[in-house]
Amino acid sequence: MRTAEIRRRFLDFFAERGHTVVPSAPLPTPDPTLLFVNAGMVPFKPYLTGEVPAPWPRATSVQKCVRTLDIEEVGRTTRHGSFFQMNGNFSLGDYFKEEAIAFAWELSTASVEAGGYGLDPDRIWVTVHHSDDESRGLWRRIAGLPDERIVARGDEDNFWSMGVPGPCGPCSELYYDRGPALGREGGPAVDEDRYMEFWNLVFMQYERGEGPGKSGYPILGELPRRNIDTGMGLERMATLLQGVDNLYEIDETRPVLDRAAALAEVRYGADAEADVRLRVVADHVRTALMLLADGTSPGNEGRGYVLRRILRRAVRSMRQLGHPEPVLLDLLATARDCMAPSYPEVAEAYDRIADRAASEEEAFRATLRQGTTVLDTAVAKVKAEGGRALPGAQAFLLHDTYGFPIDLTLEMAAEQGVRVDREGFTALMREQRERARADARARKSGGTDLTVLRPVLDEHGPTDWRAWDTLTTDSRVLAIMGATGPAPAVREGDIATVVLDRTPFYAESGGQDSDAGRLSGASVEAEVLDVQRPLPGLVVHQVRILSGELATGERVHAAVDPEWRLGARQAHSGTHVLHAALRQVLGPNALQSGSYNRPGHLRLDFPWRGALSPAARSEIEEAANQALRRDLPVDVRWMTLPEAKELGALALFDETYGEKVRVVEIGGAWSRELCGGTHVAHASQIGTVALTAESSVGAGMRRLEAAVGVEGFGYLARERDLVARIAEQLQAPRAELPDRIAGLLDRLKSADRENQRLREQTTRARANDLAAGATDVDGTLVVTATTDGGDARTLAVAVRDRLPADRPGVVVVGTPAGDRATLVTAVNGAARSTGRDASALVKRLLDGRGGGSPDLAQGGGIPSERLPATLASVPGLLADA
């Protein structure tokens, strides 16, 4: 049974039993604690925890997931894949254990003809929590399982929680016996390769308190509403139903593996280590395809770094298999054909996917060349100093600055007989990740601990958010968080986080900056500095108290600065207009991958290889302003996500969408995007879109920046004034400025060439004089000199070349540069044959600093006042050597 069919049967089964089919959420998630959705329940988390009322009592989904914590195990076990699909059914206060167990057993064991999976019931084992007698009894009654195939396990295996206070409960897992050829008898407690887990049923019925790890925390009592969260691994079920050994050999990955083997000219199954690398390629290429399809772009941090690492591991694995040529486009096309039956969007977006992947592979090939040089130099230094380990800081530099994977550093260092301080590298990586996560959490939470905010949401419910409808509300202060935690009141000069029962302020999201404005009360005036949405449904305001005192429970008038909001609307609508203009000029592959807009300014990132030409930039700007001139209408409509996709609406992949989505249209189909931001009513209200910059923000990624509204007119006015001043200074009409400036540049270049020729003549003449005045030191001709220009290297080489070729010759030239001086040393061939070394000499003169080749070296760092004495010491150093 093909994977797409397994997926279809699961959704159909639960839809027939009253479950709403919920589309998979995009892999990127706005949760500040996660980069990607890593479990099927993540999109349902607000409903399961009660943070947001559930829109349906029963739901089912097949959720795309990415998990990379155990990426090193990919390819080495049958159970680890970085991308996987989790089939789930969820009960939100509706049915509980009995129905969940019955559903899982029926679908697993019903015949294929009856719509099930046809698993042999006599080969299914289950596990239950040791305290869950109810589940044990249900498995006996519903499935007829004997006691020996119902295995009791402890908290580590069969009790679920999110790791923090909140819902928890026992779980029951289903395993399938794949036969004695794959391991020992005795059930899942003995061998989880032979007995493969394929379904986990979580029974959320308790509330847990504070405590570490997976056990040892107190159970506070029963939940007021019990939930069901189940997850059936789609790839694992495909492994079972397709009769293959592991998830890398199912129909959605095996063709990629086979194509990789064909390109590398190896046979799968012939060599264990080669098989691991082929499985890594198959898994990583499919993962990269799905991440790229959901809008993630390779980068140096966060989600982008995860994707970059996955792509580069795939490329490197192919190199290790003996295929150094570009490979991603070939393999991604194969993965596309495998995944398109379940995810048509991977075929629709393939041109964009291929372009980004090709850019990343090209950049990585350059990284390999550059990083290899840096690594070789670092290893040589370690050896020269008698060391045996490459410092962790050096490995981190290779990773962080050059994008060099740590596993590649480990392997290449080992080839040269040097180990790597892996512990030091890991510590630096941990520090970097913790800083990044802390920054993300602080930004999303407005700098406030989420555990402090969650009780506010539990007690008062979601914020009544009015940003789409009004600029003012009369509100009540629900909670105040000061510098040290919850506070009853804050006073003049304090900065605090404030939760209101209702608010007109836009919370930063979708690329749009948060609103600015004021909170005013009977005895308080506060400035709103930032607005965030740290938890689904909860809006928080960072404020500075300008006068008086703000207290919990106080009534305030919340007012958005109308000029700020107007500028924000212009900038956000301007972003949509620029995006549509970009696609109109460059084509559909120029799809927005990130944006940021605030009053007067916007930026938009998009995949593109190479800088845009001036003509292309001009055409994009003109297309955007033509839309403003036509005064295209801006309309907002609500519809279901499938309806929006059918309509052709573009989705921003870092957003999470509910059952109903908000579609913003500018000129109908010309610009149609899912968006939660604030917008103008007509395109002409944007004023103008003036492109101010176009730049690279990574391999295959460009950034456009623009000024809009009054700021756009101001930018154009400044440009006009600048041109006027240049025309006045050159005494030329504006139309002639390009030719006049080109002529000036040509004359400057000619003057530079003439100056260079004169400098070279002067250097040659001085070199002749210096060579003629060389001092004999024990048979070696020695020249020392100073120069004030930047031609020390040129002078040293010129003097060396003018010394007699049959006489050993050493030249040292110093240059004072402010407080510090530099030295260049040059040694001819005759001196080299007597053991003279330019690199060793410059290090002796500079207390170990500097370096280069044996015949030419340089360094710096000594105080300029020491330069004469240093040069005077050269003959003595050479005589003692």
Residues in the annotated binding site for Zn(2+): 572, 576, 675, 679
Q: What's at 210, amino acid-wise?
A: E
Name the residue among 62, 45, 64, 65 with its Cα closest to residue 54.
Answer: 45
How far CA 717 is from CA of 635, 683, 724, in Å, comes to: 32, 22, 10
SS3 of 539, please?
strand
Which H helix or E strand runs over 368? helix 350-384
Give residue 123's identity as a one-letter amino acid code: R
Which tokens hold the place of 300? 């140096």
Phi/psi region, residue 377 (left: phi>0; alpha: psi -120 to 50; beta: rest), is: alpha
Instruction: Tell me which DSSP letter residue 650 carries.
Output: B
Per DSSP, 96 falls in state: -
Strands (E), 340-397: 389-390
* Cα–Cα dist 450/296, whole Å: 27
Taking alpha carbons only, the member of 650, 589, 574, 583 closest to residue 619 is 583
Are the beta carbons of 393 and 428 closer than 8 angstroms?
Answer: yes
Contact (CB, 8 A) for 27 and 296: yes
C-alpha to C-alpha distance for 124 and 215, rounded to whole angstroms: 28
- Residue 419 backbone dihedrals phi, psi, to 5 degrees: -90, 170
Residues near 44 by Cβ (< 8 Å), separated by ≥ 6?
22, 59, 61, 88, 90, 92, 229
Alpha helices in 445-494 (DSSP H): 450-460
**Distant-in-sequence, close-in-space partners of 7: CB < 8 Å, separation ≥ 6:** 62, 85, 87, 234, 342
DSSP for 400-417, written as a single string: HHH---HHHHHHHHHHTT
- Tell me the angle at which helices 272-293 and 350-384 cross, rounded to the nearest 10 degrees: 130
For residue 471, the SS3 value is coil
488, 538 Cβ separation under 8 angstroms: no
Q: What is the 3-state secondary structure (H, E, C) of 254-314?
A: HHHHHHHHHHHCCCCCCCHHHHHHHHHHHHHHHHHHHHHHCCCCCCCCHHHHHHHHHHHHH
Cβ atoms of 155 and 191 within 8 Å: the answer is no
Alpha carbon separation from 8 to 60, 62, 234 (Å, rounded) = 12, 9, 11
The secondary structure of residue 216, as a DSSP letter, is S
Locus of tokens 């559930």: 54
* CA dist list (Å): 181 to 80, 131, 193, 325, 775: 20, 33, 10, 39, 84
Report whether 328 contacts 259 (CB < 8 A): no
The annotated binding site is made up of 572, 576, 675, 679
Core vs surface per residue 272-306: b (16+ CB within 10 A) or e:
eebbbbbbbbbbbbbbbbbbbbbbbbbbeebbbbb
Dist CA 502 CA 452 (whole Å): 19
Nearest to 202 by CA among 238, 174, 234: 174
